[in-house]
Amino acid sequence: MTQREEYFIKEAMQSYPFSNPEMTFLRHNENITCKVVDEDQVYALRIHLPRDGFELKIFEPMDPITLLQSEMDLLSHIEKAALFPVQRPVQTKTGESVAILDNEIPACLLHWLEGEPLNKETAITSAYEIGQLAAKIHLATQGFTGARLTYNSNTLGRMRNEMDVAFSRSHISLEQTKICKDTLEFISSLMAKLDQEPDSVALLHADMGFGNLIQTKEGLAPIDFSLSGYGYRAQECGMIASNYQSKEQQDAVSLGYFDECGFEVPTLHRDSFLALSVLLFISCQHDRFFMEEWYPSAVERWCTTLFLPLIKRS
What is the DSSP secondary structure assignment for residue 147, as one 8-state letter?
-
pLDDT tens string 241-297: 999 999 999 999 999 999 999 999 999 999 999 999 999 999 999 999 999 999 999
CATH number of the 127-312 domain: 3.90.1200.10
Distance of alpha carbon 280 from alpha carbon 151, whole angstroms: 10
181 with 163: CB under 8 angstroms? yes
Answering whether pTM is above 0.75, one says: yes
Q: β-strand 41-47 against 89-90: which pairing, if any? A: unpaired
Position 17 scores a pLDDT of 95
189-194 own/partner pairs: CB under 8 Å, 24+ apart: 189/314, 190/269, 190/272, 191/152, 191/153, 191/156, 191/232, 192/153, 194/232, 194/234, 194/269
Position 314 scores a pLDDT of 65
Question: Residue 313: pLDDT above 90?
Answer: no
Where does the chain hold its CATH 3.90.1200.10 domain(s)?
A: 127-312
Domain 3-113 homologous superfamily, CATH? Phosphorylase Kinase; domain 1 (3.30.200.20)
Distance of alpha carbon 80 from alpha carbon 75, whole angstroms: 9
One-letter amino acid at 141 equals: T
CA angle 14, 19, 22 (to 5 degrees): 75
Average of per-residue pLDDT across 110-131: 95
Average of per-residue pLDDT across 77-99: 95
Where does the chain hold its CATH 3.30.200.20 domain(s)?
A: 3-113
pLDDT tens string 160-171: 999 999 999 999
Distance of alpha carbon 229 from alpha carbon 232, whole angstroms: 10
89 with 45: CB under 8 angstroms? no
With a CB cutoff of 8 Å and minimum separation 6, the contacts of 297 are none
